[in-house]
Amino acid sequence: MPGNAPQTLADAIDALLPQTQCTRCGYAGCRPYAEALANGDTALNRCPPGGATTIDALAALLARPALPLDPACGVETEPRVARIDEERCIGCARCLPPCPVDAIVGAQRQMHTVLDSLCTGCELCIAPCPVDCITLVPRPVATIAPAADANRERHAAHVARAQRRRDDRAARIAARKQALHA
Ligand code: SF4
Ligand code: SF4
Ligand code: SF4
């Protein structure tokens, strides 16, 4: 929640969500799902990463009955992290932009790796990999999963950085167009 602004219902709901930003609820991230819930537009059983614990917390907050997790959204799993098969990684960097919390390190034409301390197991890096070298594995017992608040902050930074890149690119193109007609 920004600054000292009063807490809205969407803020209170968002605070109960795991912030993996996995989109399995059918929304673009946790905040859009929180807003839809606050508006009464969706069901409270659509968050597989949060599972039964999150459903119970949402039911208590919203004074609605708890429901079993909607299987159309996925299933509740043990905590997991992504693993990159370093032998097969071609360094294309296509997995970097989709990671909502910037948990993958690497650059073009270099082998990439996942930071367990940041990975939420959201799966969003898997489909974009052209050589299918990313899998999910159970979170190693010696590692600690990132907290929801940290996920939220890292996601906000990720979104802001992506927007800056788009703005910079648009400004460069506009400047080039202007130079052509100068
Ligand atoms: S963590 Fe839950 S609320 Fe957030 S995007 Fe995933 S399914 Fe939706
Ligand atoms: S590395 Fe993959 S699974 Fe882990 S947070 Fe990033 S996109 Fe999600
Ligand atoms: S998308 Fe796959 S091949 Fe490309 S850098 Fe990521 S892990 Fe490596």
- Is residue 34 in contact with ligand 2, taking CB distance under 6 Å? no
Domain with CATH 3.30.70.20 in the chain: 78-182
DSSP, res 30: H
Measured from the Cα of 74, ligand 1's closest atom is 7
Give the model confidence (pLDDT) of 88-125 as tens digits.
999 999 999 999 999 999 877 787 899 999 999 999 99
Give dist(CA 101, CA 78) in Å, integer.
Answer: 20
> Ligand 2 center to residue 123 CA distance, Å?
6
Residue 124 Cβ contacting ligand 2 at under 6 Å: yes
Atom 6 of ligand 2: nearest residue by CA position: 99
Which residue ranges does the chain devote to CATH 1.10.15.40?
A: 2-73
In the chain, the amino acid numbered 150 is A
Helix H or strand E encompassing 32: helix 30-38
Distance 103 CA to ligand 3 centre (A): 13
**Residues 127/130/135/140 CA torsion (nearest 10 deg):** -110
CATH no. for 2-73: 1.10.15.40
Interval between CA 85 and ligand 2 midpoint (Å): 14
Atom of ligand 3 minimally distant from the CA of 93:
5
CA 180 to centroid of ligand 3, rounded, Å = 37
Beta-carbon neighbour count of residue 167 at 10 Å? 10
123: amino acid identity, one letter: E
- What is the bridge-based pairing of β-strands 80-84 and 104-105? unpaired
The stretch 171-175 carries a mean pLDDT of: 93
At 159, which amino acid appears? V
Question: How many C-beta neighbours within 10 Å does residue 85 have?
Answer: 13
Ligand 3 pocket residue status of 83, Cβ below 6 Å: no
DSSP-derived secondary structure for 111-138: --EE-TTT-----TTTTT-TT--EEEEE
**pLDDT score of 4 more than 70:** no
Q: Atom 3, ligand 3: which residue's CA is nearest?
A: 89
Q: With a 6 A CB cut-off, is 134 part of the ligand 3 pocket?
A: yes
Q: Does residue 30 have a pLDDT over 80?
A: yes
Ligand 1, atom 1: closest residue by C-alpha: 20
Q: Is 92 in the pocket of ligand 3 (CB under 6 A)?
A: yes
- Can you tell me whether residue 83 is helix, strand or coil? strand
What is the CATH number assigned to the segment(s) 78-182? 3.30.70.20
Note the pLDDT tens digit of each residue in 39-78: 999 999 999 999 999 999 999 999 999 999 999 999 999 9
What tokens were used for 16?
A: 């109960």
- pTM for the predicted model, two decimal places: 0.90
Query: What's residue 180's pLDDT?
Result: 84
